[in-house]
Chain A
Amino acid sequence: MKRAAFGHIGFPILLLLPQLVIIAIFFYWPAAYAVQSSFYAQDMFGFTSTFVGAENYTRLIDSTNYINALNFTVIFTVLVTFFSLGIALLLAVKADKVIRGAKTYRTLLMWVYAIAPPVAGLIGVMLFDQSRGNITQLLAFFGYEYRLGVNYWDTASAMIVVSVWKQIPVNFIFFLSGLQAIPQSVREAAMIDNRSGTSRFWDITFPLLAPTGFFLLIINITYSLFDTFGIIDTIVKGEPGNNPLTLVYRVYVDGFRGGDLGGSSAQSVVLMVLVLILTIVQFRFLERRIHYT
C-alpha cells in the first residue's frame, strides 16, 4: 500500500476525529460505564448506589436463571449457526450450478440480500403467531397444540427457526460469491481427476470455501448471540415468564424490567469478554490457516 504524504501528524488526526469521537461516545464510554456499574448495587429507585465489589458477578454464578439462560444461549447459538450455515450452503451450491456464467440470475438472487432479512424475520414471527400463524394452524391440524410464549420448547423452537430463517439469505449470498470465486478451470481439472461430484465437493469446493465459511461462522455466532434480540423480543414480548432467554435478552430484562442495573451491567461485561474472545479467535485464524492465495 502506498503511504500518502502528510506534512504533519495533526492533519490525519483531524480527519479521523469525527469517527473517533463517535466511537468514544457510543462505544467506549458506555462500555466503561457498564464495567463501572457492574461493581455497584443500586437501590430500587436508582437514587443511590453502593460499591459491592464482585458481588454482582458471584450472584450471576449462583443464579439458576442465569445458568439456564447461559445453557440455552449455547444450544441456541450452536443450532442457529449450524442450520443457517448448512442450509445456506446447500442452497448456494444448488444455485451456483444454475447460474454459472448467467449474470442475470445472479443479480436476481442478490436482491434477496437487500430485502430478505427484516422481512423474513417479521414473516417468520407471523407464521408462528398464536392465533393466526400458519404453522400454528398446521400443527393444530395434526393435533398438536402449539403454544408460543407459554410452552418452553415451543417458544425455543420458534426462536431457533425464525433466527435461522432470517440469517439464511446473508449466508447464502456469501457462500454463493465464494463459490463463484472458485475458478472454472479448477473445477474442470477436478472433473478430470475425479468422477464423483460429492467427493469433488468435499475435496475441492469445501476447502476452497473455508475462508468464507470461517468468516461466516464468526458472523453467525455473533448474530445468534446479539442480533437475535429483535426476534426474541417479538416472540417473548417482554414477558419472560417461563420462556427461554438468551444472555443478551436477559441483560435487557434484568436491567430495564427488573431494575437491577448492577447485575445487568455484570452480564454485559461477561458478554463483552465473550465478544473479545471471538474477535481474537477470528483474527488469529483468518489471518493464518485458511488463506491460500
Chain B
Amino acid sequence: MAQVTLNAVRKVYPNGAEALEPSTFTIPDGELCVLVGPSGCGKSTMLRMVAGLEDITEGEVSIGDRVVNDIDPADRNIAMVFQNYALYPHMTVARNMGYGLKNRGMDRGQIAAKVREAAEMLNLTEFLDRRPSQLSGGQRQRVAMGRAIVREPDLFLFDEPLSNLDAKLRNQMRIEIRALQRRLGTTAMYVTHDQVEAMTMADRIIVLSNGHIEQIGTPNEIYEHPASTFVASFMGAPPMNLLDAEAGQGRVTLPGGEVVPQAGVNGHTGAIKVGIRPEDVAPSAQGDLSFNVDIIEELGAQRLLHGKMAGQDFSVAVPKDQEAATGEMRLALKANAVHLFDADQGRRLG
C-alpha cells in the first residue's frame, strides 16, 4: 500500500514535443485516481512515467516514500493493465498470471495458489489452461486484471482498460474493477477519456488538457465547481451550456438584454462566459430566461431539448414525464445553477 506523489514532473519527448507540463499532486494511499482528458492530452504519458516505461524529463515520482525515477519498472512493485490487454499469446491464462511471480523467485506451489485465488475472484477458474486467443475480450480483460492482482502491488496502473469492450461489458467491468480495488485497498491510477468512467469510478479525478492539469478534485467537486470552461464542457453529459454574455453594473446580461439571475459578478466587467448545466434548468411559465426549442431528443429516462437561448446553442434536460414541444418556452433556474468563467482564459470566476 502506498501513496503516489508527482513533484513537478514534466515530459518532453525526444522530438521536442512537451507532452506534460510540470505537474504536482499526491494520490493518498488506497485511493482510485482517474486521469481523464481528450485523446492526446498526455494521460498515458503521465501513467507510463509512473510505471517506468517512459523516461522522466524533469521532476520526481515517488511511490510510497521511495523516489522511483531510477528504479526499474519490475522493481517498482506496480502492476499495469493495458488497453489491448497485452497478454502473452503463447502462455496459458495460468502462466500469464504467474509469470511475474515466477520471476520474483516465488516457488511453484505458492504461485499456483495465488493464481487460483485470483482466478476464483475473477471467475476465471475454468479458463486457466486456455490460451488468450481462446478467450473473449471480456475474459482477456479479466486475465489482465488477474495478472495485476496476483502481484499484490503497491499500485495499480490502468491505461484505458475498458476501451476495447462493448458498452454493456464496459459498464459491468467498470463496477467490478471499482469493487475489486475497494476490496483490495490498493492505490490505483486509472486513465480514461470517458468522463462517465471518471465520474463513476474515481475517488479523485485529475482533468488533463493539452499536457497540463486543469483541475484536481472529487467527482462532486469537479461537477459542481468546474475550474474552467474546458472542465465544464468535458465533464458531464450532456455537456454544460456555455453562453457569451456581458458583465456590468453588478449583473450579467445575455445578448438581447435578458439578465441572468443568480449571477454575482464580484466587480468583473466586460465579456464573460455563463455556464448552465442542461439539468439545472426547468421549463416554467414564470421563468426568467426565454428558450426556443428546435429539436427534441428522446433518451428514455429523460428528454433533451436542443435549441437557442439569446441566439446561442443551448440544451435542456427534462424528465420523461414532462411534456415538451418545439417552439418558444420559458426556463427557470434551479439553485446554484450559474457558473461564471472569464471570457479569455476560461478560468472560473468566484
Using CB atoms and an 8 Å cutoff, list the residues of chain A in contact with chain B. Answer: 183, 185-186, 188-196, 199, 203-204, 207-208, 210, 292-293
Contact = CB atoms under 8 A, between A and B. Distances in A.
A13 B308 CA distance: 67
20 contacts: A185-B86, A186-B86, A188-B53, A188-B86, A189-B88, A191-B73, A192-B53, A192-B74, A192-B78, A192-B80, A192-B100, A193-B100, A193-B103, A194-B100, A195-B74, A195-B75, A196-B103, A204-B88, A292-B133, A293-B89
Interface string B46-57: 000001110000
Interface residues of B, number: 25
A63 B267 CA distance: 109
B103 A208 contact: no
Interface string B24-54: 0000000000000000000000000001110
B163 to A, nearest CB: 13
Given A203-B99, A208-B90, A185 B74 contact: no
Contacts of B88: 186, 189-190, 204
Interface centre among A183, A192, A203, A292 (most CB of B within 10 A): A192
B94 interface: no
Interface of B: 51-53, 72-76, 78-80, 82-84, 86-90, 99-100, 103, 131, 133, 147
Nearest to B79: A192
Given A189-B86, A193-B100, A292 B131 contact: yes
Given A191-B73, A192-B53, A192-B80, 7 more contacts: A185-B82, A192-B52, A192-B73, A195-B75, A208-B90, A292-B133, A293-B89
Given A192-B51, A292-B131, A183 B100 contact: no
Contact of A194 (B52, B53, B74, B76): B74
A195 B76 CA distance: 11
Contacts of B131: 292
B72 A195 contact: yes
A73 B53 CA distance: 48
B77 to A, nearest CB: 10
Contacts of A190: 88, 99
Which of A183, A185, A207 lies at the interface centre, i.e. has the most chain B CB atoms within 10 A of its CB? A185
A191 B103 contact: no
A190 B131 CA distance: 17
Contacts of A207: 90
A292 B90 contact: yes
Contacts of B53: 188, 191-192
Interface centre among A189, A203, A207, A292 (most CB of B within 10 A): A189
A183 B84 contact: yes
Contacts, number: 65
A204 to B, nearest CB: 6
Contacts of B87: 186, 189
A102 to B, nearest CB: 10
Contacts of B79: 192
Given A188-B80, A192-B74, A192-B78, A292 B89 contact: yes
A203 B98 CA distance: 13
A231 B89 CA distance: 40
Nearest to A204: B88
A192 B47 CA distance: 13
A202 to B, nearest CB: 12
A183 B84 CA distance: 9
Contacts of A204: 88
A93 B135 CA distance: 30
A207 B72 CA distance: 24
A210 B78 CA distance: 30
Contacts of A199: 103
A219 B69 CA distance: 46
A208 B131 CA distance: 13
Nearest to A192: B73
A185 B133 contact: no
Contact of B82 (A189, A193, A194, A208): A189
Nearest to B89: A292
A185 B84 contact: yes
B87 to A, nearest CB: 8
A188 B78 CA distance: 13
Contacts of A193: 74, 99-100, 103, 147
A194 B103 contact: yes
Nearest to A292: B89
Nearest to A210: B90
